[in-house]
Structure 1
Amino acid sequence: MSLVFTPSRIRLALGAGLAAALILSTAGCKKKAAEPDQPKPVMAVEVVSPQSHEWSQRLEASGNVQPWQEAVIGAEVGGIRITDVKVNVGDVVKKGDVLATLDPDTLRATLAQRDAEVAQAIANFAKAKADAERAEQLDKTGSISQQDILQYRTAASTAEAQLKLARAQSDVADLQLRYARVVAPDDGVISARSATVGAVVSAGTELFRLIRDQRLEWRAEVPGDLLGPLQVGMHAELRKPESTTIVEGKIRQLAPTVDLQTRNALVYVDLPKDAGLRAGQYVEGWFELGKQAVLSVPESAIVLRDGHDYVMTLDDKNVAHELKVTTGDRHGDDIAVSGDLTTKTRVVKSGGSFIGDGDLVSVEAK
């Protein structure tokens, strides 16, 4: 039997085929929608866990190195010319060493004049005293008035006072002559010199500065609210400028006040004489506050965002999460951290700044 394809049958067959194609196409789309593409890791990372340590707790500080005490040495007499300067900056001197000399000729002449005045005053006093004694003898005979006796007594007292004054002035002149030798008031090192040969100095003019006993101190600036743990005698360490050398010192004194502008207080640290530091140097250092249990991560794990420190942690599906932390002391390449993390927390070791919160990553095999 032969099939006859009439126009109506052809249209019916085409409609059925189109419907079947649409059904198959819809089924295929539903199958694709039910199976979405899996997200790809944004990058491969190395994972570490925070480590537990017993670290020395430190309080970091910075400040200037200054003389423990700096003596200003000046001229004790004025109007005298400097004839010799015996020391220069950096010279170590002993107490009593001559630093400079002033021209003594004028001072010697003054002393000679005062000595002559003393001799004259002695003679005047001797005469006045003898006159008063004769008047006392005449008083017994009634041959002298009481007014004359009083005048003789007054003249003797005045002459005695003038003698004392002349002797005092002679002592001053002698002292000024000794001041012609400018001497070191204590052991130390010369830190400044303004004396020059030929200059005429005034009384009180600064000639030298002396660091007493060659002692220096570190004046560390510490925030006032962190002074609590610090005590006199506590150990301190300084790092020499442009060097890895560490200098040790001890706290001698804590300032009783806090600066109103900076809110910092000064901590005075005694330094050894062989520290190799110079007055005026700005150095950084720290104070040892004892042991403290800390968690640490590699410093490369710290991510700075919006002025805060973070680490990127991973969950069991390797999805990254941003965790805010507080950083502390550094030991080598590690840094102390505190926050919502434990020794089992999985932390991205480096490259965290390229990872966003919620990103999927792959973990490199160790």
Structure 2
Amino acid sequence: MNTKIKRSTLVIAAIVLLLIVAGAFFAMKKKPDAANAPAAAKKAGAAPARPTLTVTVAQPEQTELTMTLAANGNVAAWQEASVGSESNGLRLAEVRVNVGDVVKRGQVLATFSPETINADVAQAKASLAEARANAADAAGNAARARTLEKTGALSQQQINQYQTTEQTAKAKVEAAEAVLAAQQVRGRNTQVLAPDDGVISSRTATVGGVVSAGTELFKLIRQGRLEWRAEVTSAELGRVAVGTPVLVVSASGAQVQGKVRSIAPTVDPQTRAALVYVDVPNVLQNTGIKAGMFARGDFQLGRSNAWTVPQASIVPRDGFNFLLVLQPDNRVTQLKIETGRRVGDRVEVLTKMPANARVVVQGAGFLNDGDLVRVVDAPAPAGAPVAAK
């Protein structure tokens, strides 16, 4: 029993001795660190803050920008003429033009077979000759009857009959002349003529086909003119006037310069938009603009001065645009802005900026509000003359 107690006492004493030695070791290690702490703190306070990034800056500039109004619409023919047949039941003998051909006013587009018309004209001429012969005979009989009127050889009734026959024969001559004229018109209608200068946009005429009067054979874009029918809201309609220049851009990217010809007098009650008709130059000169295309355009309303900054200085964050403005202590402040028009690599700033503000250009996207920066001169543009030393 005494032996067990002695062993327990020895174990406890050994543990206490180990704790005392460990405490002394940690105390000795901590003293040098505490002695060096003031020197380290002094050294840290003496070191200057390091810049976050090296950047270039620029000042906002006043730039003359074009005022525009954007709109969408469709391209259509200025006027599309329907060229049809004026003859009935004739066979198409020849078609001389196709889609895309440029034609002149009065040019022959197609011809019909003239055999039937020629026969009808010959018959009308024969009928006219017969009517004239009968009229001459009736006129002679009436003249003789009038000479015998005073002699009493013929009764008044017989004389009236001769005169009536003469007048009837004259009427038949006039009717025969009218029939001949109608047949001659049909003969001229065997040629389908272009009603105006323009471009053939559609063709349904087929050689050998028998068509009725009024059947459409061709469609013609008159004078080759197109128009862009822009939809402009009623709120913006007052800014557009006749003669305003317009830049029209098709879906393929083709651009053409046009001019406002007219403005619709009414506004669509459903969309609250009005049509503005813009003349587009000749269709053959603008291969990228075709009738039926959808196109967008900008009405060029004039020019005005505006404050602009380089596009690289604008930082989009969280759905908004910001500028990083350099402060006198070389730290940057984040400024929320609203942008406007763009021209080249410059963007209009609608938000009022501090006087003589300098904004970060190169490196703006890597900075946050309050960062310290180092400013260097912007590199000279490529090709700029180098100053002599």
- TM class by smaller structure: 0.7 to 0.9
What is the number of equivalent residue pairs in this alignment? 316
Q: Match of 1:254?
A: 263
The answer on 1:80 being equivalent to 2:90 is yes
Q: Match of 1:282?
A: 294
Of the structure 1 ranges 200-209 and 139-148, higher mean CA displacement relative to structure 2 is found in: 139-148
The answer on 1:295 being equivalent to 2:304 is no
Q: Match of 1:57?
A: 67
Q: Secondary structure at the match of 2:86?
A: coil
Could you tell me whether the CA contact under 8 Å between 2:59 and 2:357 is conserved in 1?
Answer: yes
Q: Partner letter of residue 237 of structure 2? A: L
Scaled by the length of structure 2, the TM-score of the pair is 0.69
**Distance in 2 (alpha carbons) for counterparts of 1:133 and 1:302:** 110
Q: Partner letter of residue 118 of structure 2? A: R
Could you tell me whether the CA contact under 8 Å between 2:89 and 2:212 is conserved in 1?
Answer: yes
Q: Match of 2:158?
A: 148
Of the structure 1 ranges 343-352 and 215-224, higher mean CA displacement relative to structure 2 is found in: 343-352
Of the structure 1 ranges 106-115 and 182-191, higher mean CA displacement relative to structure 2 is found in: 182-191
What is the CA-CA distance between 1:147 and the residue it aligns to? Answer: 3.5
Q: Match of 1:158?
A: 168
Of the structure 1 ranges 170-179 and 132-141, higher mean CA displacement relative to structure 2 is found in: 132-141
Q: Which of 192, 195, 200 in structure 2 is aligned with 1:182?
A: 192
What is the CA-CA distance between 1:239 and the residue it aligns to? Answer: 2.7
Q: Secondary structure at the match of 1:228?
A: helix
Q: Match of 2:35?
A: none
Q: Partner letter of residue 69 of structure 2? A: L
Question: Per-residue CA shift, 1:43-92, capped at 9, x if unaligned?
Answer: 99988765432111112223222222222111110111112212111122
Of the structure 1 ranges 43-52 and 330-339, higher mean CA displacement relative to structure 2 is found in: 43-52
Could you tell me whether the CA contact under 8 Å between 2:90 and 2:212 is conserved in 1?
Answer: yes
Of the structure 1 ranges 185-194 and 153-162, higher mean CA displacement relative to structure 2 is found in: 153-162
Could you tell me whether the CA contact under 8 Å between 1:190 and 1:209 is conserved in 2?
Answer: yes
Q: Match of 1:223?
A: 233
Could you tell me whether the CA contact under 8 Å between 2:79 and 2:222 is conserved in 1?
Answer: yes
CA 1:157–1:321: 2 relative to 1, 3 Å: same
Q: Partner letter of residue 302 of structure 2? A: G
Q: Partner letter of residue 286 of structure 2? A: A
**Distance in 1 (alpha carbons) for counterparts of 2:362 and 2:149:** 116
Q: Partner letter of residue 300 of structure 2? A: E
CA 1:99–1:352: 2 relative to 1, 3 Å: same
**Distance in 2 (alpha carbons) for counterparts of 1:284 and 1:176:** 48
Question: Per-residue CA shift, 1:161-204, capped at 9, x if unaligned?
Answer: 22112111111111111111112222222111000111110101
**Distance in 2 (alpha carbons) for counterparts of 1:363 and 1:81:** 89
**Distance in 2 (alpha carbons) for counterparts of 1:159 and 1:345:** 105
**Distance in 2 (alpha carbons) for counterparts of 1:299 and 1:51:** 12
Q: Secondary structure at the match of 1:150?
A: helix
Q: Partner letter of residue 96 of structure 1? A: G
**Distance in 1 (alpha carbons) for counterparts of 2:301 and 2:166:** 77
Q: Match of 2:216?
A: 206
Q: Match of 2:381?
A: none
Q: Secondary structure at the match of 1:141?
A: coil
CA 1:291–1:321: 2 relative to 1, 3 Å: closer
Gaps of at least 5 residues in structure 2 are 1-51, 376-389
Of the structure 1 ranges 88-97 and 264-273, higher mean CA displacement relative to structure 2 is found in: 264-273
Q: Which of 121, 140, 153 in structure 1 is aligned with 2:131?
A: 121
Q: Partner letter of residue 286 of structure 1? A: D
CA 1:230–1:200: 2 relative to 1, 3 Å: same
The answer on 1:104 being equivalent to 2:114 is yes
Q: Percent identity?
A: 41
Could you tell me whether the CA contact under 8 Å between 2:69 and 2:299 is conserved in 1?
Answer: yes
Q: Secondary structure at the match of 1:109?
A: helix
Scaled by the length of structure 1, the TM-score of the pair is 0.73
Q: Partner letter of residue 275 of structure 1? A: N
CA RMSD of aligned residues (A): 3.5
Question: Per-residue CA shift, 1:210-238, capped at 9, x if unaligned?
Answer: 22232223233322332334333332222
**Structure with bigger gyration radius:** 2
Q: Partner letter of residue 247 of structure 1? A: V
Question: Per-residue CA shift, 1:322-345, capped at 9, x if unaligned?
Answer: 56x4x5432234443434546656
What is the CA-CA distance between 1:138 and the residue it aligns to? Answer: 2.4
Question: Per-residue CA shift, 1:98-156, capped at 9, x if unaligned?
Answer: 22111111111111111121112112222222232222222222333434333333332
